[in-house]
Structure 1
Amino acid sequence: MKLAVVGDALLDVDLSGGAERLCPDAPVPVVDVAARKCRPGGAALAAVLGDASGADVTLITGRSDDSAGRELERLLAARCVLLDAPFSGGTPSKTRVRADGQSLVRLDVGDGVVPDLPLAAGLFEALRSADAVLVADYGRGITRNSWLRRELARLPSDVPLVWDPHPRGAEPVPRTDLVVPNHAEALSFGAGSGTAEGAEALRLRWGCGAVAVTMGARGAVVSPPGELLRAPELMGRRPDVCGAGDSFAVSVTLALGRGVPLLEAVRYGVDCASRFVAEGGAGAWACDGSEPPPPRPGPSFSRVEQVRSWGGRVVAAGGCFDLLHPGHINLLNRARSLGDALVVCMNSDESVRRLKGPPRPVVHAEDRRCLLEALECVDAVAEFDETSPSRLLEQLRPDIWVKGGDYEPDQLPESRVVERHGGRTVLVPLVDGYSTSRILRDLEHGGRIRRECHGRAG
């Protein structure tokens, strides 16, 4: 999918260390800086999150040829196509000083803005070729550019346009499909409290298709239809909300670009943002040019919630599902027959590599997910990085946990998680003759895949 992100790029800097004494000339802590980490912020963070979700991202933004602007270019080089809009002034940079994990002060520098001047033709071509467009406004002038606004208003109706507004920015163009202010921003726009009535008032004011007011740990209020979509309980040990709004906006935009209905797309965004915060937020990254990708978007549990709302039974099944074969299909069909919704908990590539050793996995996670999601019996696929899916199951809390019959219950630490939430574990017998490991051995020796082989279906 081609995602165009339009907005104000910032350079975020974290200075972290310890504070064990006070300054002699003022009652303030002295921070002994142990580390300096840089990361893309603002619209640049949204672009990186889009790239980490598998999109081909183009970022349309403004920056200067100063140290912050060049650092942003370096951090974004492998993540997206960077297209520069006219810019006047210094590249915005925000530096957080942290001691023992606690933010003490933030220092903002850079007064640059995007003036109302014509844009290069390449920027318009990037918008016209996009499958979805996200506007990430951080009040630096790009949303006031009249040439850009006209182009956004002319986007085809089948290209989702999501607008993340800012109180100092321009109002969304009426063509916008979804505007996603947070609660504080909604109040500054005169929406009153975070209610469906407030969201609807903003929708009427802007003339857009829908408004979703994000409410932090409470979830998001969406109008229409005027519904509160609740966030899952955060599981992280060090929650940090920095970047949560960008995670939400990107996830919703990509979901809409894939044709997901509005409410389900917003619910997906709430799930993704909650997991992002639980994993440590944007501040958890080590941005020295080799930083790991941000946490993967969590699964959309909308189907799970629907089933639970009428007393249905949720089933989860886990495994690597490398080289999908009839043994896997039998396991998943049997699992689905035990309840009303089936969520597959799938090992990530790194998790498979730890369990099976190189050269596994043969099929990368994105393709394994695609195959599983194509199965009629599967309602959702959730990927996890750990050796055990216990952490994921804490969030999902299935009524039934299904594994292949080649395991013993005491070999499954996740069973204790399921039982603690009132669920139970079911072992499904394997289909004789199917094993990924045996298939690979047969292929390696030039033999045919034989049904008479025996082994673990994983």
Structure 2
Amino acid sequence: MHDFSHANILVVGDVMLDQYWTGRAGRISPEAPVPVVKVATEEVRAGGAANVALNIAALGANAHLLGIVGKDISGQIDAHGQQLSQLMTQAGVSYDWALSDSGTICKLRVLSHHQQLIRMDFENPVPETPALELVERLKEQIANYNVLVISDYAKGALQFVEQMITAAIAVNVPVLVDPKGLDFSRYQGATLIKPNQSEFESVVGEALETADLVSKAEVLIKKLQLEALLVTRSEHGMALVTSNEMPYLLQSQAQEVFDVTGAGDTVMAALATGFASGMSLQNAVHLANQAASIVVRKVGTSTVSKVELDEVIKASMRHKGYVAMNEDELLELVQLAQKNGERVVITNGCFDLLHSGHVRYLNEAAKLGERLIVAVNSDESVQILKGPTRPIVGLEGRMELLSALSCVDWVVPFNEETPERLVCKIKPDVLVKGGDYQPSEIAGSKCVWDSGGQVEVLSFWKGYSTTGLVNKIQESEAIESNLTPQECVE
């Protein structure tokens, strides 16, 4: 649905490495009243500004990251910095590091049964020299980007953030800030700052009522010469307050919350990506709110992909139907659904002149799972199957009508006479066809069985067919053509 490939975003701020040690806690230590975790897996993820950059890249935009990592005794990037570099490279994020004797910031979390038992932070004060180096690198590069994101975790990389904002303003690049601390005056002149409710109240005082929050936000906007302020309010959603428009209030979209670690990074990434791609601030905030609803369902510092975001947005629309742009996009959607435990059903046909027989059949097919794919013959393949006068309705129109049905989740075209190749590529959980077929005669049945799926033959609704409708229309036209004009009037 969204194409963010032309959005170029510069991210600067405190980068860190998040380590996760996960295992079972089966007993209490005899040495102290603490659980003993038998570590089974170790994982590293990017945190802080690095996580923002990863989220931007996951949405399909272009991210370049400026940050500070540690150096070892030989003057090279230390081990944690190298791991962070590898994570960036794997995700397609370009980066520039300033090196510091303070070491790469690292946070180690120990988890059991998806619950965090302890967190240990490894960090030292960052000296001024690498922080000044970041400013110089930003000045050299800022003109090449649509948006600057400042991700402040108060770890020392942004000691001279005022100079960074001034440099961006000088070349008309919008500045979005994830702030930290009690002194928001450091971000004066930025386009938008995004505190959470607690951070906001630490600066302006308690604001439990929405009207009070808006009033205090308006004062802060004027004081800091901002264009907007976005307050994230956890389960209460978000509030966007601007200098010249009515407040934009959003309810939280999250159904389940497993872990809020890194959720603020995801919100900033989606906000910046949407804004850099040309969205209004309101639309970009809406996008960010949807992204937040996804990431809080994941454990640990995580990213949200473009496909996940598009899927959530589609689910919130009036009906579920969606015409896939291509088979690869559909495959990604199917794999995501199956990963979430949803059974995917696929059926196919020409669906020329959609009628109630089609609707009954598709409703029956949809009941076999949680997701229904309808594969539609291309115009050329319909001609081969039905003759040169068909289809009556072109492919685009047929797919549009099918996607409007509430029982249909995804619609995709195919060019061959049968959908066997497509079915084998998608690997649905259930393959369905209507009529008097034997399951083994249905195109793609072997692939579905081989992958552990099932093949079903559904009811054939007698008296309902496109060919029958066409014949009836032709008969009606023939009768009308023999009437005189007077008879037609009467």
SS in 2 for 1:315: coil
Other structure's SS at 2:219 match: helix
Q: 2:275 aligns with which of 256, 259, 264?
A: 256
CA deviations over 1:412-433 (Å, ceiling 9, x no partner) = 1499899xxxxxxxxx999854
Matched, 1:239 2:258: yes
Name the structure 1 match of 2:363: 409
TM-score norm. by structure 2 comes to: 0.63
Determine the structure 1 residue equivalent to 2:403. Answer: none
Post-superposition CA distance 1:423-455 (Å, at most 9, x none): xxxxx999854593335989x9xxxxxxxxxx9
Number of aligned residue pairs: 358
1:207 to 216, 225, 228: 225
Residue of structure 1 equivalent to 2:75:
none
Instruction: Say yes or no: does 1:37 pair with 2:43.
Output: yes
Q: Is the 8 A contact 2:343 2:369 kept in 1?
A: no
Instruction: Find 2:9's aligned residue among 3, 24, 40.
Output: 3
User: Residue 28 of structure 1 corresponds to which residue in structure 2?
Assistant: 34
Contact 1:85 1:120 in 2 (8 A): no
Which of 5, 19, 22 in structure 2 is aligned with 1:16?
22
Report the CA distance between 1:388 and its aligned residue. 10
Which whole-Å CA distance do the structure 2 matches of 1:45 and 1:260 have between them? 22
Shift of residue 179, structure 1, vs aligned partner:
0.8
For the pair 1:180 / 2:194, whether they are aligned, the reply is yes
Check whether the contact 1:90–1:112 (CA below 8 A) recurs between aligned residues: no
Residue 150 of structure 2: aligned partner = 135
Q: What amino acid maps onto 2:138 in structure 1?
A: L
Task: Report if the CA contact (8 A) 2:50-2:65 is conserved.
Answer: yes
Secondary structure (helix, strand or coil) at the match of 2:102 reads: coil
Report the AA paired with residue 324 of structure 2: C
The within-5 A match list for 1:53-452 is 53-65=59-71, 66-79=78-91, 80-85=93-98, 87-113=100-126, 115=128, 116-119=131-134, 122-145=137-160, 147-156=163-172, 159-167=173-181, 171-193=185-207, 195-224=213-242, 225-234=246-255, 236=256, 239-278=258-297, 280-283=298-301, 296-298=308-310, 314-322=318-326, 348-351=330-333, 385-386=337-338, 407-413=361-367, 433=391, 434=395, 436-438=413-415
Change (3 A) 1:201 1:96: farther
Specify whether residues 21 and 219 from structure 1 end up closer, same or farther in structure 2 by C-alpha distance, changes over 3 A only: same
Cα shift at 1:218: 1.7
- State how far apart, in whole Å, the 2-side matches of 1:387 and 1:31 are: 28
Q: Is the 8 A contact 1:96 1:107 kept in 2?
A: yes
Unaligned runs of 5+ in 1: 286-291, 306-313, 324-345, 355-383, 393-401, 419-427, 445-454
Whose helix proportion is higher, 1 or 2?
A: 2
Q: 1:112 to 1:293 in 2, by over 3 A?
A: farther
SS of structure 2 residue aligned to 1:63: strand
Cα deviation 1:82-128 (Å, max 9, x = unaligned): 11235341211111111222111110012142625344755333321
Q: Measure the CA separation in 2 of the matches of 1:321 and 1:117.
A: 46
Structure 1's 272 and 293: CA in aligned 2 closer, same or farther, altered over 3 A? closer
Q: SS of the counterpart of 1:142?
A: coil
2-side partners of 1:414 and 1:209: how far apart?
A: 51
Q: What's the secondary structure of 1:77's corresponding residue?
A: helix
Q: Residue 322 of structure 1 aligns to which amino acid in structure 2?
A: N
CA distance in 1 between partners of 2:370 and 2:36 (Å): 46
Equivalent residues of 1:11, 1:68 under 8 A apart = yes
Supply the distance in 2 between the matched residues of 1:388 and 1:16 (Cα, whole angstroms).
21
Instruction: Return the alpha-carbon distance in structure 2 between the equivalents of residues 164 and 230 of structure 1.
Output: 20
1:389 to partner: Cα distance:
11
What letter corresponds to residue 153 of structure 1 in structure 2? I
Deviations, residues 55-80 of structure 1 (Å, cap 9, x unaligned): 11100111112221121111112331
Q: Whole-Å Cα distance in 1 between the matches of residues 368 and 232 of structure 2? A: 32
Kept in 2: contact 1:404–1:429 (CA 8 A):
no
- Structure 2: give runs of 5+ residues left out of the alignment: 1-6, 72-77, 345-355, 383-390, 396-411, 422-441, 444-490
Residues 389/133 of structure 1: CA separation in 2 closer, same or farther (3 Å cut): farther
Change (3 A) 1:168 1:69: farther
Cα distance 1:210–1:149, how it changes in 2: closer, same or farther (>3 A)?
closer
Specify whether residues 405 and 302 from structure 1 end up closer, same or farther in structure 2 by C-alpha distance, changes over 3 A only: closer
Identify the residue that residue 358 of structure 1 maps to in structure 2: none
SS in 2 for 1:144: coil
Aligned AA (2:319): V
Separation in structure 1 between the aligned mates of residue 68 and residue 143 of structure 2, nearest angstrom? 19
Contact 1:87–1:112 (8 Å) recurs in 2: no
> TM-score if structure 1 supplies the norm length?
0.67
Residue identity matched to 1:44:
A
- Mark the CA change 1:243 to 1:391 in structure 2 (over 3 Å): closer, same or farther: farther
SS at match of 1:297: helix
Question: Structure 1 residues 242 and 387, CA, compared in 2 at 3 Å: closer, same or farther?
Answer: closer
Paired residues of 2:182 and 2:203 also in contact (CA < 8 A): no
CA deviation map 1:171-224 (0-9, x unaligned) = 453332111111121122234225222332332332211111101122111213
Q: Distance in 2 between matches of 1:175 and 1:48?
A: 26
Higher radius of gyration, 1 or 2 = 2
Once structures 1 and 2 are overlaid, which stretch shifts more, 176-185 or 121-130?
Answer: 121-130
Q: Tell me: CA distance 1:205–1:303, structure 2 relative to 1, closer, same or farther (3 Å).
A: farther
Given that 1:114 and 1:140 are in contact with CA atoms closer than 8 Å, whether structure 2 keeps it comes out as no
Question: 2 CA distance for matches of 1:178 and 1:120?
Answer: 20
Report Cα offsets for 1:102-157 as digits up to 9, x if no partner: 1111100121426253447553333210112211111122322254343233241x
Distance 1:169 1:41, change over 3 A: farther
CA distance in 1, matches of 2:306, 2:378: 36
Q: How has the CA–CA distance of structure 1 residues 124 and 29 changed in structure 2, closer, same or farther, with 3 Å as cutoff? A: same
RMSD, aligned α-carbons: 4.0
Q: Secondary structure at the match of 2:252?
A: coil
- 1:132 and 1:231 map into 2 onto residues whose CA distance is 26
Question: How big is each residue's C-alpha offset from its partner over 1:277-332, in whole Å with a ceiling of 9 and x where there is no partner?
Answer: 12x154468xxxxxx96973356859978xxxxxxxx2332343538xxxxxxxxx
